[in-house]
């Protein structure tokens, strides 16, 4: 099942109008910025100085750290890796996925921390006049509040970022996160080493690297379940964090043209399971995760997906895992898991 937006564009314009104290101008939807490349300034490695507090605290906590942002899909998406430390043992690792949605011309942003590997609710928005503003919902003790993320003062070597929340529908805002970033390098390679390990957080270690993939797929499994297509291309997988996050980028060609997918895989240390989030460059939306684990050398993941206009169960099974090959079988169930219809078979062979 795909991400359901809780706000129409008109709501965002109305909230923005409350912030500046005036009605949205006529033709506000017109864009003077190439939104597809609005986050190009962000690519690279940065030093960050952070002030943060929760909604009920008066005192700020100071932290310093590093932000590395790597482009995906030629800049129409990017993945940010964050690590920062402060006093009294304050330390966190996190990542943020940014996706450009071609249909709306907007960006979404979702964050996950190493605590549980769960992507938070998205914020949505765009850049105007050198300033990016994204809105969404966030959790405050006992209630939901509006969230506003703002990028400003952007130069080739620095930028400013703030997060604020509003409990009164956007009339007033309380800033709870401030970051000033200074560029260290133009490059954004994560360079994350892989430490040997045998726990479930290392289940996907076998998959790191470059692969050639051969795929048989049913592109409309409910409408045309017997119409199989052949696709082929590459599957590149690399670590974001050594023991809790990695990303796979799939690029294949078939009868319906070029396909770009990504899979963001996050490990939950509490449940000892993986959540796998998927996105496609044509939609620019992050789907709900598939959840699962590996047992006896095979991995099984279950989720919900919108297929041909109907919500169905989706199952992904990894098998045949060796140092040089692996296989994935995908299937769907429209009857609650009683029967499964194959939709996708991929065989990968290592190319690096």
Kindly report, residue by residue over 273-321, the tens digit of the pLDDT: 999 999 999 999 999 999 999 999 999 999 999 887 889 999 999 999 9
Residues 220 and 266 in one domain: yes
Q: What is the CATH number of the domain that holds 245?
A: 2.40.128.20
How far is CA 321 from its chain centroid? 26
Scan for tokens 């996925």, then name that residue.
Answer: 97
pLDDT tens for each residue of 53-76: 876 667 899 999 999 999 999 999
pLDDT above 80: residue 207: yes
pLDDT above 70: residue 327: yes
Say which range, 6-10, 179-183, 237-241, has the weakest mean pLDDT. Answer: 6-10
**What is residue 80's DSSP assignment?**
E
Count of the separate structural domains present in the chain: 2
User: What pLDDT is attached to residue 13?
Assistant: 31
Residues 155 and 225 in one domain: no
pLDDT above 90: residue 223: no
DSSP 126-184: EEETTEEEEEEEEEETTEEEEEEEEEEEEETTEEEEEEEEESSTTSS-EEEEEEEEEEE
Residues 246 and 139 in one domain: no
Residues 247 and 327 in one domain: yes
Q: Is 326 contained in some domain?
A: yes
**Structural domain boundaries, residue 17:** 9-185
User: What pLDDT is attached to residue 18?
Assistant: 33
Residues 34 and 180 in one domain: yes
Nearest CA to 107 among 140, 138, 153, 73? 73
pLDDT tens for each residue of 248-271: 999 999 988 999 999 999 999 999
Q: What's the mean pLDDT in 111-126? A: 96
User: What pLDDT is attached to residue 234?
Assistant: 98
Question: What are the residues whose beta carbons fall under 8 Å from the beta carbon of 237, sequence distance 6 or more?
Answer: 204, 207, 208, 209, 210, 211, 246, 247, 248, 249
How many residues in the chain? Answer: 352
Phi-psi group of 305: left, alpha or beta (phi > 0 → left; psi -120 to 50 → alpha; rest → beta): beta
Choosing from 120, 151, 185, the residue where a domain stops is 185
Residues 251 and 173 in one domain: no
Considering the chain, what is the average pLDDT of its residues? Answer: 88
User: What pLDDT is attached to residue 20?
Assistant: 34
Q: Render the burial of 78-92: b for 16+ CB within 10 Å, e for the rest.
A: bbbbbbbebeeeeeb
Tokens, residue 244: 């809790």
Residues 133 and 53 in one domain: yes
Q: Is 194 contained in some domain?
A: no
Phi-psi group of 254: left, alpha or beta (phi > 0 → left; psi -120 to 50 → alpha; rest → beta): beta
Q: Is 4 contained in some domain?
A: no
Question: What are the residues whose beta carbons fall under 8 Å from the beta carbon of 20, sequence distance 6 or more?
Answer: none
Please report, for residues 27, 36, 126, 127, 247, the alpha-carbon distance to residue 30 in angstroms, rounded to integers and kept in the order given: 6, 14, 11, 12, 34
Residue 238, CA atoms < 13 Å, CB-side half-sphere: 14
User: What pLDDT is attached to residue 346?
Assistant: 98
Under DSSP, is residue 120 helix (H, G, I), strand (E, B) or coil? coil
pLDDT above 50: residue 9: no
Q: Is 193 contained in some domain?
A: no
Choosing from 185, 219, 238, the residue where a domain stops is 185
pLDDT tens for each residue of 153-169: 999 999 999 999 999 99
Choosing from 160, 185, 210, the residue where a domain stops is 185
Residues 166 and 279 in one domain: no
Residues 112 and 180 in one domain: yes
pLDDT band at 189 (very low <50, low <70, confident <90, very high): confident
Q: Is 122 contained in some domain?
A: yes
> How much is the pTM?
0.87
Dihedral, CA atoms, 127, 122, 52, 45, nearest 10 degrees? -60
Residues 43 and 175 in one domain: yes
pLDDT band at 132 (very low <50, low <70, confident <90, very high): very high
pLDDT band at 112 (very low <50, low <70, confident <90, very high): very high
Q: What's the mean pLDDT in 92-109? A: 97
pLDDT above 60: residue 149: yes
Residue predicted with more confidence, 32 or 23: 32
Residues 242 and 136 in one domain: no
Q: Is 117 contained in some domain?
A: yes
Tokens, residue 161: 């970022």
Q: Is 1 contained in some domain?
A: no
Residue 159, CA atoms < 13 Å, CB-side half-sphere: 20
CA 10 to CA 203: how far, in whole Å?
44
User: What pLDDT is attached to residue 27?
Assistant: 40
pLDDT above 90: residue 19: no
pLDDT above 80: residue 40: yes
**What is residue 40's DSSP assignment?**
G
Q: Is 2 contained in some domain?
A: no
Residues 48 and 165 in one domain: yes
Tokens, residue 70: 């790597």
Nearest CA to 51 among 125, 145, 139, 162? 162
């Amino acid at each position: 099942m795909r991400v359901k937006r809780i706000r129409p564009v008109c709501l965002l314009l109305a909230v923005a109008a409350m912030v500046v104290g005036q009605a949205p101008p006529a033709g506000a939807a017109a864009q003077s910025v190439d939104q597809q490349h609005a986050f190009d300034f962000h690519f690279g490695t940065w030093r960050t100085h952070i002030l943060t507090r929760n909604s009920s605290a008066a005192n700020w906590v100071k932290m310093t750290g590093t932000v590395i942002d790597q482009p995906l899909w030629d800049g129409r998406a990017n993945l940010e890796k964050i690590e920062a430390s402060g006093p009294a043992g304050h330390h966190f690792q996190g990542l943020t996925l940014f996706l450009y949605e071609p249909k709306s011309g907007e960006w979404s942003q979702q964050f996950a921390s190493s605590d549980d590997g769960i992507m938070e609710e998205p914020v949505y928005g765009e850049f105007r006049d050198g300033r990016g503003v994204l809105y969404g919902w966030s959790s405050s003790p006992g209630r939901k509040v509006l969230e506003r993320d703002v990028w400003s003062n952007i130069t080739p070597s620095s930028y400013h970022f703030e997060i604020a929340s509003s409990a009164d529908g956007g009339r007033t805002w309380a800033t709870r996160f401030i970051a000033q970033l200074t560029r260290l390098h133009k490059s954004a390679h994560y360079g994350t080493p892989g430490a040997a390990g045998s726990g479930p957080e290392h289940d996907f270690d076998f998959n790191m690297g470059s692969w050639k993939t051969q795929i048989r797929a049913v592109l409309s499994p409910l409408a045309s379940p017997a119409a199989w297509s052949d696709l082929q291309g590459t599957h590149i997988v690399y670590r974001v964090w050594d023991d809790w996050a990695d990303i796979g980028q799939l690029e294949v060609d078939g009868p319906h043209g070029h396909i770009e997918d990504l899979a963001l895989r996050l490990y939950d240390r509490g449940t000892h399971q993986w959540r796998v989030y998927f996105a496609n460059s044509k939609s620019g939306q992050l789907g709900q995760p598939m959840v699962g684990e590996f047992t006896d050398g095979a991995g099984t993941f279950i989720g919900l997906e919108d297929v041909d206009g109907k919500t169905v169960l989706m199952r992904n099974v990894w098998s045949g895992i060796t140092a040089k090959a692996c296989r994935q079988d995908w299937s769907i169930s429209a009857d609650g898991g009683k029967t499964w219809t194959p939709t996708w078979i991929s065989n990968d062979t290592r190319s690096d």
